[in-house]
Structure 1
Amino acid sequence: MRVVEFQEYGGPEVLKVVEAPAPEPGPGQVGIDVACTGVNFVDLKARADGYRVPRLGYVPGVEVYGRVRAVGPGVEGLAVGQEVTALTEGGAYADVAIADAATVFSLPGGVDLRTAATLPAVLPTAYALVHAVGRLKPGETVLVQGAAGGVGTVVGQLAEAAGAAAVYGVVSGEGKAAYAREHGYDEVFVGEFTQAVRASTGGRGVDLALDPVGGETFSASLASLAAFGRLVSFGNASSAQPWSVGQPELYPLGVSVAGFSILTLARTAPTELRALAERAFATVADGTVSLPVTAEFALEEAAEAHRLMGARGSTGKLLLRVGG
């Protein structure tokens, strides 16, 4: 079978298409013939920085859509030939991927096949940020970094549907700002945002801030909170030192900071992940949210997909086409 792997860390050029034996599922695992796989920023972090890479050569990719190829011992409720979408521990840039059965999901009704590959990582993450961790209430305000990306696209729609009084986004360029305004955002700021947030909220700040960037952006998001506001960190795209907060930051306005990683939740609380995913998938099935696929690449073009995402020129969701 074909896989896209890297034997060293670096730019998109380190991604190479090679032939490898098809893997077989072990106990509690499922083998999937991959039709398409989502491209996520975590894939770029793995390639460039070794994020969550246990060893080289490594095959990136954490979300797939395809058909069950084989099931390992102890797997129930999944059958060979069944259409599924799955969250993986890497390895999705391939003709065949392996996933734990706990993170393999039947397709919800009414979901088209291209959308299916965008579901397992992005949608539950967005749902958790708004509801399970962010605990957004009607009438509250939200500030979202990366508003035009995959997670940001869904968060804007979920926050609007949840009755947010205003949804503010932050993006890196005017083209992305126009895209975000079409997906649930009331105002979108390009680049610096702290003064604009205060101005738009009458000096109050926002009730909920969502940050996948870290570093200075994390600190600025924290400073943009209203009294009793919440900040949820769900990534460190800046590769800055891990954030640290304490009494000086939290006590004056009674704010709080939380964190979320769907890949970590899959390891530590798979039952909670499944319940979260089912609630999240329902929002696509009922039309509450949509996640546009804005660019597709062949498996052999994975490096081009990484270049586009790494140049911060992409919006919505990027896919790799793998099988039929």
Structure 2
Amino acid sequence: MRTVRFRQTGGPEVLEPADAEVPEPGPGQVTVDVAYAGVNFADLKARSDGYRVPALPFVPGLEVSGRIRAVGAGVTALRPGQQVAALTAGGAYAEVALADAATVFALPEGIGPRTAATLPTVVPTAHALLHEVGRVRAGESVLVQGAAGGVGTVAGQLAKAAGATVLGVVSGAAKAQYALKYGYDEVFVDDGTGPGFAHEARRATGGCGVDLALDPVGGDTFRRSLDALAPFGRLVSFGNAGGAEPWAVGQPDLFPGAHTVSAFSILTLAQSAPQALRAVAERAFRLVADGTVTLPVTAEFPLEEAADAHRLMGGRTSTGKLLLRVGG
């Protein structure tokens, strides 16, 4: 089968097409004939830094859509030929992907394979950040970093549907215009030249600060998100895209504003509590099926051009969701 892999970490140029044996599902697993594979920032971190790479060579990719090819022993709720979306532990940049049955989801009525490839990571992540972890309530204010990205696009819509005032942070004016189409009441461009997003968030909330902040960046952005919180505000960390040292906060940081800091990782939850992830995913997928949430595919590449997809995402100019087209 066709795959795209890397044999050493580095820039997009280390991604190379390669042939590989078709995997066979073990107990509790399924294989999927891949129609589309999603491209995520975690794939770029795997390629550049070895993030969650157990050994080389490695086939990256965390999510696919397609049809079940085969099921392993003990799998009873899924069947060959069924259309699904799946979260994988790598290996999605391939014609056939292997996944644990617990993270393979039958598609709701009306969702095709192209849309399905946008679902496994982004939509459950945004839902968990806002509802399961952030516990957003109607009338609150929410601040989202990366408002024009995949998670940001969905988070804006979900927060608005929950009755919140939604504020976003992006790196450029074009991204701000894009994000405003997806639930945001105001979007701040934070390019290092102005007063900064924490100041703007306080201005937009009449000096109060925001009730909930979502941060995938870490480092200084994490600290400034804390500064943007209202009394009793919550900050949810869901990544470290900036590559800074892991954050650490203590009582002196949290006592003055009675703040709460939480964290979420969909990949970790998939390993530690797959049934909890399944419950979140099913709730989130229903909101796509009923039209509450849309996640636009803004660029699509053939599998062999995965390096170009990585260049686009790594250049910080992309919006929405990027996909690799693999099968029919």
TM-score (norm 2): 0.98
Aligned residue type for 2:215: D
Distance 1:252 1:118 in 2: 40
Aligned residue type for 1:249: D
Give unmatched runs, 5+ long, in structure 2: 191-195
For residues 241-256 of structure 1, the aligned pairs below 5 Å read 241-256=245-260
Match of 1:204 among 205, 208, 217: 208
Deviation at 1:85, TM superposition (A): 0.5
**Local SS of the residue matching 1:287:** coil
Distance 1:152 1:133 in 2: 16
Match of 2:261 among 253, 257, 269: 257
Distance 1:10 1:181 in 2: 34
Aligned residue type for 1:36: Y
Q: Retained in 1: the 8 A contact 2:35–2:113?
A: no
Aligned residue type for 1:176: K
Deviations 1:54-94 (A, max 9, x none): 11111110000011111111111111111110000000000
**Local SS of the residue matching 2:258:** coil
**Local SS of the residue matching 2:295:** coil
Alpha-carbon RMSD across the aligned residues, in angstroms, is: 0.6
Partner of 1:15: 15
Deviation at 1:310, TM superposition (A): 0.2
Distance 1:176 1:182 in 2: 10
Partner of 2:51: 51
For residues 37-48 of structure 1, the aligned pairs below 5 Å read 37-48=37-48
Distance 1:249 1:110 in 2: 47
Partner of 1:82: 82
Partner of 1:288: 292
Aligned residue type for 1:7: R
Partner of 2:319: 315
Distance 2:202 2:79 in 1: 53
Aligned residue type for 1:284: V
User: How many residues were matched structurally?
Assistant: 323
Q: Retained in 1: the 8 A contact 2:108–2:286?
A: yes
Deviation at 1:203, TM superposition (A): 1.0
**Local SS of the residue matching 2:324:** strand
Aligned residue type for 1:32: V
Partner of 1:184: 183
- Identical aligned residues as a percent: 70
Distance 1:101 1:13 in 2: 33
For residues 27-106 of structure 1, the aligned pairs below 5 Å read 27-106=27-106
Partner of 1:236: 240
Distance 2:83 2:178 in 1: 31
Deviation at 1:112, TM superposition (A): 2.7
Q: Retained in 1: the 8 A contact 2:4–2:94?
A: yes
Distance 2:113 2:25 in 1: 24
Match of 2:220 among 216, 219, 224: 216
- Structure 1 segments, 4+ long, off by >6 Å, are none
Distance 1:150 1:197 in 2: 22
Distance 1:294 1:112 in 2: 16
Distance 1:283 1:298 in 2: 29
Distance 2:111 2:98 in 1: 23
TM-score (norm 1): 0.99
Give unmatched runs, 5+ long, in structure 1: none
Deviation at 1:249, TM superposition (A): 0.8
For residues 81-160 of structure 1, the aligned pairs below 5 Å read 81-160=81-160
Distance 1:110 1:36 in 2: 17
**Local SS of the residue matching 2:84:** strand
Deviation at 1:229, TM superposition (A): 0.2
**Local SS of the residue matching 1:69:** strand
